[in-house]
Structure 1
Amino acid sequence: MSTSPFRRGAVTRACLLALAGFHAASPVSAQGVATDAELAPVVVNGTAIRSGLPANLPGSTSSKTAEQLREQNLFNPEDALQYAPNTTIRKRYLGDRNALIAGRSFGTLQPSRALVYLDGYLISNFLGRFDAPRWNMISPEAIERVDVLYGPYSALFPGNSIGTTVAVTQRAPRGFELSGRLTGYSQHFEQYGDADDFAGHQTSLHVGHRFDSGAWLTADVNHQDATSQPMQYATVSVDPATGVFAPPTDSAPATRVTGIVYDTDPKGLRRAVFGASGGAIDHTRQDTVNLRGGYRFDHDVEASAMAAWWRNDTRMRNRSFLRDADGATVWSGKVTDGTNTFVLASATFAPSARDEAHQQLGATVKTRRAAGWNASLVVSDYRILRDTNRQASNPDPVAADGGAGSVTRRDGTGWNTAEVQAVWTPDAGDWTGGRHTVALGAHRNAYTLDNTVATVEAAGDWRGDGGAQSQYYRGRSEVMALYVQDAWQLNDDWRVTLGWREEWFRAFDGEQLGAGVTVGYDSRRLQGHSPKLALAYAPSDNLLLKLSLGRGVRFPNVEELYNGTVTAVSQTLSDPFLKPEVSDAVEFSAEQDWTHQRLRVSIFHDDVKDAILRQSTTDPAVCKTTAVAATTYTCVQNVDRVKTTGIELAWSAQHVGWRNVSLDASLAYTFHSEVTANANDPAMVGKWWLRVPRTRATLQATWRPDERWMLAAGYRHQGRAYNDTANLDTHPDVYGGVSRVNQLDLRGTYQLTRQLELALGVNNATDQHAYQSHPYPGRTLFAEMRFTL
């Protein structure tokens, strides 16, 4: 008689609990995890080791280890997710500080549906428009592994887990360690006949030591210098009603110019392009220092702490295509090419500069008993010590001498979290028969946002700190939660996991200043209920079937409630009465293990009520505003109901064909992702949900012909998606659209000595143009040197 997988110990628990398309490695701990006894083992080459996510997780996961990440071109930490199943990382360029996550049923317009933890400390940034997780706190050289959890099926995670949860783990030393790497890159980028080369480099150093006492210390430093390709362009499209460009209303003479480029916009309308604008070319210098330490007080109790700092110095410039009769660059004013006439505002090609300094502190205390009760306490604080964004009002040549502009500050903004958790893992001989594993805990997170804008007059200097305060928005939010989860082994083949998470949300101190008028908002209190249920059945030693159901409640963040920014060309409208978005999700998965292969198939359905959508448009009616002086409008609204159904496959294989070949592949197909009800905008009903593609796929192949060489290839595919609520963007493969992505990446490494490794690589080897509104990078060449002592 065969042995049930639920009775096979650590190795088989891995097959049942790590629903990963990739292999895993090395010990870590994640937010909501009390002890190593609760960490899910994962198998690598027949050895059971610890995963970065809790055991008995109801939903699907995927994982990558540091060793696997060396098989791809990794410049920034978020590159670790490039090949994660059914995942999009909107990374505009190497060194981008704003790499957003999109998943099964949400796009990069809903960044608050993604949770990211670093060693159990929250680095998700829910404070600003399109603010991505603070990847910058992670040194790439320190990454031990990355784990991804799909959907709101675990009671251990907050409501933002309705999309994707990422746990990044940094390595702790086993003795003395010293390693580092130097990476350089260069890309050739061409768009609208304008071509240039953009380069950058990064240096990382990791040093750590574990003392005989059991105490350990690490220090990681990282420096990068990167320059982006042009990320946005100044454009004007024809009037859709007339099919012609609207003529200027004034009678002033126009400057005759060359260089205007015409193309077709995402909605199929003829468009004029004047140059790379809005701070299109971003030169950023970033430094990260990450200090960590830990100590085991006795066999059962240990503590660890982290202190990290990140600094960023950014200068953003522009590039006009326009030239007058003398060949001089034209940056603003009334221009004509002899056929059409346009007016370019002074701020169209205005540069900007940003200076940031962030800090994160965290501490963890936990017990490690093999059975019985264990407990943990995790606290963290993320603080923006300095954030000054200086924006000129005049084009680059004029702004170089000072003049009008604005200064936006977010100093003191940040968040803090605290979680206490207890886990009961009974002994096999107790009255339960060892069949229950119970986790219960309390969680709190609090966000503080303070965004002030000072206006610098023409006689001043936008590059300085002067100017009178003209706008601000500020506010706070807090979420308190209690949760319980029980993984109950009914018998050798069946397990049921029951969970409940109760959350209380409070928003308060909301206030706006604009146009000389101050508006205060009453505090709000909301409550969310999140039941969870999963049933797992193992009909054979190597097959696991699992049905998972869960509700997640994602409360609006501070910026969505209170942002009311107005500039010379744009207006942002928030909604202090936003409802929370509630996701009722279900997943059925099957995972089959063979000697050298693993296949996971998951069918999922997400039903989201009151989905929170941020959208930008040139039509003020979409944002329900009567202020029509701006050229772009951004607003946040609830969408009554959105339903998404799809299927996901993740496959990995070792020793395929040749002995040292490994393959990893994923394929996701979304049957539908559409708005099924929306009283606020009935025209959206029946339309596809924004930035969710129908297809995503990845393929990685790695060949190690001997101990010194490694050759790898990776392919990333994403189908087209919509960026317009009415799905009118039928021409997506252009700037401003959400295009198809089909990109091939290559990498080769050579182990020169035991201590020194050299690597060459290329991303987007075929130089395929692709867009997520902004252009993605062109063909990018990498060179890397890595040492380990």
Structure 2
Amino acid sequence: MRLLKPLCFFISISQLSLSAYATDNGDNKSEIEEINVIADRLFADTTRLSPSSTITAEDLKAISLLTAEDSIAYEPNLVVRRRYVGDPNGVLGIRGSGMFQTARSLVFADGLPLHYLLQTRWSGSPRWSLLGPDEIANATVIYGPYSAEYSGNAMGGVVDIKTRTPQERRFIVQGHLLSQDYNELATNDHFNGNKIYMAYEDKIDDLSLSASYNRLRNNSQPMSQYFTNASEAEALDDLGVTGYIRGKDKYGDDVIYIGDSGAEESTTELYKLKLNYQLGNMQLRGTIAYEDRLREEQDKNNYLVDASGNTYWGLGNRNFEQRTQERNSLLLGFGVSAEIWGNWFYDIYATNFEIIKDKERRSGLNPDDPNFGSRNGRLTQFGDTGWNTLDIKLGTDSLFNRDDMRLSIGLLKDRYQLAINGFNINANDGSVVSTRSPSQGETSTTAAFAQWGWQSTESLDFALGLRYEQWKTLDGLYNNIQAPKRDENTWSPKFSAGYTLNERWSVRYSAAQAYRFPIVEELYRNEAAATAVLIADASLEPEQGIHHNISLINEFDSGKLQINVFWEKIKDSIYNQRGTINDGGNNISVSTFLAIDEVNTSGAEFIYEQGNFLIEKLSLRFNLNYTDAEITKNSANTSIEGNDLPRIPSWRSNVMLSYPVNDALSVHSSFRYASNSHGNLDNSDRGGEVFGAIDDYFFVNTKVSWRMSEALSLSAGVDNLFNDTAYVAHPWPSRSYYLEGRYQF
């Protein structure tokens, strides 16, 4: 019954034949016009050898594009766990790499790394907010580590986002209003937000420039729900305390819910400047992105009321502390590309990311609690944290002046540094009372790689790749003890063969070995807090993966059909293993980074895209994906052998549809489905639609766009139209409304 309404809606929409690959009839040509970027030619083999999917700016008009991660939300066999619009913890999971295995996916925007290879789990999400969604020209998802261009951090895949390069002068002003209905447990409210984007774009002779400001402010639904053992109800009844709500936890056990975290208010401001300059035969490009983020949880809800009608704070009071986080970061990128020696090209690109300030304050107890001030608060502050990279590539598509051979080679140097300092502070005045154990460390990688390709016949194509990596650690601090330095070397071979069956059909087999080295948090982050304990492991070995993929592709005039079959075996798979203990009515999460001996994953993806689907102007993007990720060996705890790897659903599917009613008006609909999965390695969490569960979901979204004039456009949308209740540990957004206005001149 849960899926009946969405299914009927899907059928009716399909019969209406919603669609259009191009709804602007060329009016917006300047928005998506591309220039010949030399850097993109160097590793064209990456998308040739790897299964991939690309979504264009035209396709993205079918959805409410509010943050950068929306651009890939409907791509095959992945999930972005964006819990609400503006969520800083939008982790990415691709194929057999779960959403909390964040170091197994890479995200780039015009070559700038947005992935965050310093922390993992929810803290390891890509820095999506350093990219304005209105800048995006297209996004390509590349599955697996089949190209030598990328490290083993591409075990899941790579997201490669391209932004617009201005070709004319224009000013853009765009605004959004957003609102969400929410009615769960004892909270029934509307949570609202707004977004504004302003940009100046110009092309002055050989210089293209873009200066933009993106501001998003939103109030989320409550992210956490607080509960305790059902046995506590009797004691509360004896005290005359009411307001608790009986329910189940993710294990199916009886609990009582005593409160929730209230709205999380998030404000993000992005200031950005992009420059592209053609200097003779050289292309110069630079980016400066500065982010200012404020995140607050100030309105936590305690459901409990004593006999006098006052809020009762005697149970789980640590859950209700207030929290504020201030974060400022700066991302810089500079590149130069040129054609040399006839058919040879080079590209040099350097980036630097720095956390200027990142402070989180917790109050210990709620200020309304009569005992406020009796327990210290906490301050967590980042020190020298960030990364820098230098990427040098050289390549040709006619090796030895032979059009049937190509070669790309490169060098990469990166350095990732993390320093986190903790303090216990006086809850009343914020002064430091004592220090907690700091966590810090640094990793660096030097890599060399080469990819050779040969079109041996008109139908047959081969490619060989090899990647060498030297990985080092230094300055690691483990429980106030200096960790020994480490130095490891690996070789990762790649192979691919493709065969063109006829004008429409082709098949390709790709295989790769990959090593994913531990990141700083996995090695050195140790912290004990009131509600969570984290234990790192400085001796972790790199993950070792063997990956295979077979793709069958049929390309036709108005679209394509693609079937991918993949299987992989990963040894020493690093996973954050978690448990919960109860201490005086407070649930304390204990987690540590341990290696699972072996995980085997297999799956298939069916991808179908077509314009003029069923009727003229109907456009369809559809994918259906199956993944089976199984723990096949774990000597430390053999009881979990045969279990599913957490947070990887067996089934995923996405649909995007659009229909241009006329030149000015278009309607769109989209659908997202995922089956349920487990959050624990022991697969003991079998409860559904409760806090902590990883539920199945079927979200139906709609959007109407009205182009009032060449300069002015409006759109309105509803996400989760049928208000499907589902959790990804935290609750997914309920029914949400969006209104967008855009003016450009």
Could you tell me the TM-score, scaled by structure 1's length? 0.87
For residue 595 of structure 1, the aligned residue among 538, 543, 557 is 557
Matched, 1:680 2:599: no
CA deviation after TM superposition for structure 1 residue 774, in Å? 0.5
Matched, 1:669 2:631: no
Task: Check the 8 A contact 2:42/2:408 in 1, yes or no.
Answer: no
- Rounded to whole Å, the distance in 2 between the matches of 1:399 and 1:25 is 59
- Matched with 1:323 is 305
- Rounded to whole Å, the distance in 2 between the matches of 1:26 and 1:587 is 33
The one-character-per-residue Cα deviations of 1:47-79 (angstroms, maximum 9, x if unpaired) are xxxxxxx56531111111222212101111101
Range 628-637 or range 748-757, more displaced: 628-637
Pair 1:83–1:528, CA change in 2 (3 A)? same
- Matched with 2:54 is 63
Matched, 1:136 2:105: no
CA deviation after TM superposition for structure 1 residue 630, in Å? 7.4
Code of the residue aligned with 1:221 in structure 2: it is Y
Task: Check the 8 A contact 2:373/2:426 in 1, yes or no.
Answer: no
Percentage of identical aligned residues: 24
CA deviation after TM superposition for structure 1 residue 603, in Å? 0.4
CA deviation after TM superposition for structure 1 residue 553, in Å? 1.0
Task: Check the 8 A contact 1:512/1:520 in 2, yes or no.
Answer: yes
Structure-to-structure mapping, 1:343-742, within 5 angstroms = 343-344=315-316, 346-368=317-339, 371-398=342-369, 404-426=376-398, 433-457=402-426, 460-462=428-430, 466-513=432-479, 518-618=480-580, 631-670=588-627, 672-742=628-698
Pair 1:630–1:519, CA change in 2 (3 A)? farther
Task: Check the 8 A contact 2:145/2:152 in 1, yes or no.
Answer: yes
Task: Check the 8 A contact 1:142/1:220 in 2, yes or no.
Answer: no
Pair 1:25–1:60, CA change in 2 (3 A)? farther
Question: Tell me, which stretches of 5 or more residues in structure 1 are unaligned?
Answer: 1-23, 41-53, 239-243, 334-342, 621-627
- Matched with 2:15 is none
For residue 768 of structure 1, the aligned residue among 716, 720, 724 is 724
Task: Check the 8 A contact 1:117/1:124 in 2, yes or no.
Answer: yes
- Matched with 1:190 is 183
Pair 1:434–1:730, CA change in 2 (3 A)? same
Aligned length: 710
CA deviation after TM superposition for structure 1 residue 150, in Å? 0.3
- Rounded to whole Å, the distance in 1 between the matches of 2:413 and 2:677 is 36
- Matched with 1:232 is 224
Code of the residue aligned with 1:568 in structure 2: it is A
- Rounded to whole Å, the distance in 1 between the matches of 2:740 and 2:689 is 32
Code of the residue aligned with 2:739 in structure 1: it is A
- Rounded to whole Å, the distance in 2 between the matches of 1:498 and 1:619 is 51
Secondary structure (helix, strand or coil) at the match of 2:195 reads: strand
Code of the residue aligned with 1:410 in structure 2: it is F
Pair 1:56–1:597, CA change in 2 (3 A)? closer
Question: Tell me, which stretches of 5 or more residues in structure 2 are unaligned?
Answer: 1-30
CA deviation after TM superposition for structure 1 residue 35, in Å? 3.0
- Matched with 1:264 is 248
- Rounded to whole Å, the distance in 2 between the matches of 1:35 and 1:370 is 16
Task: Check the 8 A contact 1:349/1:396 in 2, yes or no.
Answer: no
- Rounded to whole Å, the distance in 2 between the matches of 1:120 and 1:400 is 52
- Deviating runs (4+, > 6 A) in structure 1? 399-403
CA deviation after TM superposition for structure 1 residue 180, in Å? 2.7
Pair 1:34–1:619, CA change in 2 (3 A)? farther
Matched, 1:207 2:189: no
- Rounded to whole Å, the distance in 2 between the matches of 1:727 and 1:89 is 22
Task: Check the 8 A contact 1:560/1:574 in 2, yes or no.
Answer: yes
Task: Check the 8 A contact 1:444/1:478 in 2, yes or no.
Answer: yes
Secondary structure (helix, strand or coil) at the match of 1:348 reads: helix
- Matched with 2:295 is 314
The one-character-per-residue Cα deviations of 1:501-535 (angstroms, maximum 9, x if unpaired) are 1111111101145xxxx211111112222110010
Task: Check the 8 A contact 1:34/1:422 in 2, yes or no.
Answer: no
- Rounded to whole Å, the distance in 2 between the matches of 1:630 and 1:535 is 53
Pair 1:55–1:680, CA change in 2 (3 A)? closer
- Rounded to whole Å, the distance in 2 between the matches of 1:535 and 1:177 is 46
CA deviation after TM superposition for structure 1 residue 146, in Å? 1.0
- Matched with 1:103 is 94
- Rounded to whole Å, the distance in 1 between the matches of 2:221 and 2:695 is 18
Task: Check the 8 A contact 1:371/1:424 in 2, yes or no.
Answer: no
Pair 1:205–1:39, CA change in 2 (3 A)? farther
Pair 1:36–1:92, CA change in 2 (3 A)? closer
Task: Check the 8 A contact 2:365/2:372 in 1, yes or no.
Answer: no
- Matched with 2:108 is 117
The one-character-per-residue Cα deviations of 1:91-120 (angstroms, maximum 9, x if unpaired) are 111111110111110111211111011110
Pair 1:183–1:573, CA change in 2 (3 A)? same
The one-character-per-residue Cα deviations of 1:567-596 (angstroms, maximum 9, x if unpaired) are 122210111111111111100010102222
Secondary structure (helix, strand or coil) at the match of 1:777 reads: coil
Pair 1:104–1:741, CA change in 2 (3 A)? same
CA deviation after TM superposition for structure 1 residue 370, in Å? 9.8
The one-character-per-residue Cα deviations of 1:276-317 (angstroms, maximum 9, x if unpaired) are 04xx5211111001101121111x211111111000112113
Matched, 1:293 2:275: yes
Code of the residue aligned with 1:496 in structure 2: it is F
CA deviation after TM superposition for structure 1 residue 177, in Å? 2.5
- Rounded to whole Å, the distance in 1 between the matches of 2:35 and 2:680 is 41
Task: Check the 8 A contact 1:34/1:421 in 2, yes or no.
Answer: no
- Rounded to whole Å, the distance in 1 between the matches of 2:132 and 2:682 is 41
Task: Check the 8 A contact 1:37/1:368 in 2, yes or no.
Answer: no
Secondary structure (helix, strand or coil) at the match of 1:442 reads: strand
- Rounded to whole Å, the distance in 2 between the matches of 1:512 and 1:717 is 42
- Rounded to whole Å, the distance in 2 between the matches of 1:681 and 1:160 is 26
CA deviation after TM superposition for structure 1 residue 669, in Å? 1.3
- Matched with 1:624 is none
For residue 165 of structure 2, the aligned residue among 172, 180, 192 is 172
CA deviation after TM superposition for structure 1 residue 536, in Å? 0.4
The one-character-per-residue Cα deviations of 1:313-339 (angstroms, maximum 9, x if unpaired) are 121131111111232222x21xxxxxx
- Matched with 2:11 is none
- Rounded to whole Å, the distance in 1 between the matches of 2:295 and 2:240 is 34
Code of the residue aligned with 1:226 in structure 2: it is N
Code of the residue aligned with 2:285 in structure 1: it is S
Task: Check the 8 A contact 1:414/1:447 in 2, yes or no.
Answer: yes
Task: Check the 8 A contact 1:497/1:533 in 2, yes or no.
Answer: yes
For residue 257 of structure 2, the aligned residue among 264, 273, 277 is 273
Task: Check the 8 A contact 2:318/2:586 in 1, yes or no.
Answer: no
Could you tell me the TM-score, scaled by structure 2's length? 0.92
Task: Check the 8 A contact 1:425/1:437 in 2, yes or no.
Answer: yes
The one-character-per-residue Cα deviations of 1:169-205 (angstroms, maximum 9, x if unpaired) are 2211112122231011100111114211100000011
- Rounded to whole Å, the distance in 1 between the matches of 2:192 and 2:363 is 26
- Rounded to whole Å, the distance in 1 between the matches of 2:233 and 2:744 is 62
The one-character-per-residue Cα deviations of 1:721-749 (angstroms, maximum 9, x if unpaired) are 11111111122332211000101000000
Pair 1:351–1:363, CA change in 2 (3 A)? same
CA RMSD of aligned residues (A): 2.3
- Matched with 1:623 is none
- Rounded to whole Å, the distance in 2 between the matches of 1:547 and 1:773 is 37
- Rounded to whole Å, the distance in 1 between the matches of 2:382 and 2:239 is 40
- Rounded to whole Å, the distance in 2 between the matches of 1:310 and 1:321 is 36
